[in-house]
Amino acid sequence: ANGAVALLEMTQPQAQAALLTPGILDVTAVADRPDEELFGPLLQVIRYADFEAAIAEANDTDFGLAAGLL
């Protein structure tokens, strides 16, 4: 994606296996992040300056989402 930074790249350890290792993308700098479900072992991380900004974006969706805060 435009501006995304791979923190951990997905790999396919065996060419013939239907298996991918998990990947992690920092999508903080991506201006137009799609608000749709991803299929695959991929985690998108968005960094925020404060808790209120994170909650505001989490609530700005048409979907019921789950999130983890670290």
Average pLDDT, the chain: 83
Q: How many CB atoms are closer than 10 A to CB 59?
A: 8
The confidence score (pLDDT) of residue 7 equals 94
* pTM of the full structure: 0.68
The confidence score (pLDDT) of residue 67 equals 67
Task: Calculate mean pLDDT across residues 9-34.
Answer: 86
Sign of CA pseudo-dihedral 61, 47, 54, 23: positive
For the chain, state the CA radius of gyration.
Answer: 14
Q: How far apart are CA 20 and CA 41, in angstroms?
A: 7
Task: Kindly provide the b/e burial profile for residues 35-49, where b requires at least 16 CB atoms within 10 angstroms of the residue's own CB.
Answer: eeeeeeeeebebeee
The confidence score (pLDDT) of residue 35 equals 67
Place 47 in a pLDDT band, splitting at 50, 70 and 90. very high
